[in-house]
Amino acid sequence: MSPSPMDAIVMYPLPVIGHLKSTVELAKLILNNLPSLSIHIIVFKPPCDDGLNASFINKVSGTMPSIIFHYLPTISLPASFISSIRTPETLTFEVLLLNNPNLNQALGSISENCTIVAFIADFLCYAALSVTAKLNIPTYEFYTSGAACLSLMLYLPTIHKNTTKSLKDMDMDTLFDNIPGMPPVPAKDMPKLLQERDSKIYQYFLDASIQCPRSAGIIINTFESLEPRAVKTMTDGMAAPDSPLPSLPPLYCIGPLIALDNRGDNIGGGGEPECLAWLDMQPSQSVVFLCFGSLGRFSVEQLKEIAVGLERSRKRFLWVVKNPLSEEKPDTGLNLILPEGFLDRTKERGFVLESWAPQVEILNHDSVSGFVTHCGWNSVLEAVCAGVPMLAWPLYAEQRCNRILLVEEMNIALPMAESEDGFVSSAEVEKRIRELMNSEEGNSVRKQIMAMKNEAKKAVSEGGSSSVVLSKLVQSWKLN
């Protein structure tokens, strides 16, 4: 039985740009497999909205009418919440929880015109599970990072049970070496938001980890041959040792799911065609690209240090510099932030781009042969698909765990060493960039990432692991 034209999939992403983009890519993939479906994406406005989501959603709505966005009504948090010490992440969870009645209503109105065959909630939007359970809608979770990191999240209840101290109060070198499918992780490299066990945000993540096994299936943006050990751990039922459920739901590794063209996302504007034109003029495989995701910002002092390291490396570079951390010198021109004369001295071999860069096009440009990255999972997959080796400089979220995986498990990145407070010296920047671009270690990660690029292609081609798994999933919706 094939689904009627009115059958719908509803998706519920966390409203931050990295998660939203992956959700839209997943929507496109589902539509490619089953064009008769309609896809509805329910979004809510995060309390600290930077406007990135709205411009991205407008672009998608303008080009893909089969993806329909629904905005939940804006929730006004009590002033006491905003003025308290709650972080933007905590506030987002508060809004998420308060939104359940609105979500319920939105699902009600979508189902007036369609049958909702499946609901796909972001792993962090676990609060929705209680709404969809009451409505009897099969609910899947979408984990936008990799399988090993999911395994770490599913191990959080075990860590919580076995320790009484917050991670931040432990010896920072304490090793967690029992996380299924993951190399040992020192306490200092555990995600920052998990460091304080008495915080609300920790509790939210713990709840997300406990709820996840209750879903009908877990969709992950990875592919089997990138993370064979972690995927096997999950499918063998070794992850989530403290889950009260007898087994994990089915796992669907459907990646790599990346936007093939992010030119014109233009979030923050400016500089796009110029930087691609500049790349056209550079020799093949000569440029190192530095970009740190949607949120990666540095202090003025750190920016200066990067500039000195880049200049001394004598390599060609394309560097995306977002505004420095705002409490320092907001709206200061680059000329005043970077070392005196830097832009002038490097103009023959460097291009500095303020704000948003067309990262996918850049990584796939023939001139680019190295990527200094904050290790956000989308960036990692984009580098894999482009076959560009990485220099791993994690900044936030689960990125320090990703660095361990990229360097120790996958051998597709070299590490950037930092001091205890996270500062990276110009000497380190210079040394590592040279190493990445010309050295035996650099060649080794280059060779491995080229192999992974081929594996990624295989995974999504006909008969490949990701495409088989995706058709199985879509098929299961057809049969319902």
Contacting positions for ligand UDP (CB under 6 A): 18, 21, 262, 265, 291, 293-295, 320, 356-357, 359-360, 376-379, 382
The per-residue b/e assignment along 13-25, b for 16 or more CB within 10 angstroms, e otherwise, is: bbbbbbbbbbbbb
Closest CB 262 distance from ligand UDP, rounded Å: 5
d(CA 417, CA 422): 9
Nearer CB in complex with ligand UDP: 18/181: 18
Tokens of 381: 């997959």
Closest CB 257 distance from ligand UDP, rounded Å: 10
d(CA 226, CA 381): 10
Nearer CB in complex with ligand UDP: 106/150: 150
Closest CB 325 distance from ligand UDP, rounded Å: 16
Closest CB 88 distance from ligand UDP, rounded Å: 14
Closest CB 388 distance from ligand UDP, rounded Å: 12
- At 390, phi and psi to the nearest 5? -115, 155
d(CA 120, CA 98): 19
The secondary structure element, H or E, covering residue 350 is strand 350-354
Closest CB 211 distance from ligand UDP, rounded Å: 22
Q: Where are the alpha helices (DSSP H) in 375-425?
A: 377-386, 399-404
The per-residue b/e assignment along 419-449, b for 16 or more CB within 10 angstroms, e otherwise, is: eeeeebbbebbbbbbbbbbeeeebeebbebb
Closest CB 192 distance from ligand UDP, rounded Å: 13
Nearer CB in complex with ligand UDP: 324/376: 376
Closest CB 91 distance from ligand UDP, rounded Å: 18
Nearer CB in complex with ligand UDP: 225/262: 262
Nearer CB in complex with ligand UDP: 13/376: 376
Task: Yes or no: say if 282 and 371 are a contact pair by the CB < 8 Å rule.
Answer: no
Nearer CB in complex with ligand UDP: 256/464: 256
Nearer CB in complex with ligand UDP: 41/258: 258
Q: Which residues pair with 415 in a beta bridge?
A: 392
Nearer CB in complex with ligand UDP: 156/357: 357
Closest CB 270 distance from ligand UDP, rounded Å: 11
d(CA 114, CA 430): 57
Closest CB 6 distance from ligand UDP, rounded Å: 33
User: What is the end-to-end Cα distance of the chain in Å, rounded?
Assistant: 9
Nearer CB in complex with ligand UDP: 43/360: 360
Closest C-alpha to 232, from 268, 181, 272, 188? 181
Q: What angle do CA 265, 298, 122 make, to 5 degrees?
A: 50
Going by the DSSP 8-state scheme, the letter that residue 407 receives in this structure is I
Task: Give helix 147-162 / helix 228-235 axis angle, nearest 10°.
Answer: 60
Nearer CB in complex with ligand UDP: 253/258: 258
Query: Is residue 193 packed enough to be buried (19+ CB in 10 Å), middle (13-18) or exposed (0-12)?
Result: middle
